[in-house]
Amino acid sequence: MGREVAESCVDSLLTEMVSTYCHRFYANKPELAARRIEAIGYQVGHQLSERFVFRYTMERPRFTDHLEAIKFICKDFWSELFKKQIDNLKTNHRGTFVLQDNRFRWLTRMSVDPQNESQDNSADGENKAAQATSMHLYFPCGIIRGALSNLGIPCAVSADISNLPACSFVVRIKA
């Protein structure tokens, strides 16, 4: 087992990083905040994939197609980060893959930033909460895009949370 830190370190850091970009730097420009958060995720995914490829695939045959690389993300890569695999992988066989985590840890653990928390149940409050959640999701989307890009698969990644606490990551491979 490699080095570990308390999970609350990662939770606190992510919450604060997202909050810094959403509230302090780009309070009125959510699309810019989203791009920065995604970029941070991209770098992390790129670097993690290099590390995990070394750890897991050195003694295995090289990936020969996209599906093998995506399975690596679903199994070894996800397990390193969340101690569980992706629960369901679907594809339309035309370059779109859907990776579903039935209980995505960062959604169940991460507290929405207090500055953005709304005590009332107004539509505005719910709206803000939904926006904060989607801001958090740019980070794992960036991680997946960075990892796949480093494996030679340029793609776009988005998140779908219509079935909370499940979270689906939609990967669209660029032709």
Residues lying near other proteins in the complex (CB under 8 A): 2-10, 12-14, 16-17, 19-20, 25, 36, 39-41, 43-44, 46-51, 53-54, 57-64, 69, 72, 80-81, 83, 114, 150-152
Minimum distance from residue 84 beta carbon to other proteins (Å):
12
Pairwise CA distance, residues 154 & 55, whole Å: 22
User: In sequence order, what are the beta bridge partners of 158?
Assistant: 170
Contact 160, 137 (CB under 8 A): no
Nearer to other proteins by Cβ, of 53 and 144: the residue is 53
Minimum distance from residue 54 beta carbon to other proteins (Å):
5
Nearer to other proteins by Cβ, of 133 and 150: the residue is 150
Nearer to other proteins by Cβ, of 84 and 90: the residue is 84
Residue 172 φ then ψ, to 5°? -110, 110
Rg (CA), the chain: 17
Pairwise CA distance, residues 98 & 100, whole Å: 6
Minimum distance from residue 113 beta carbon to other proteins (Å):
9
Residue 160 φ then ψ, to 5°? -125, 120
Nearer to other proteins by Cβ, of 59 and 162: the residue is 59
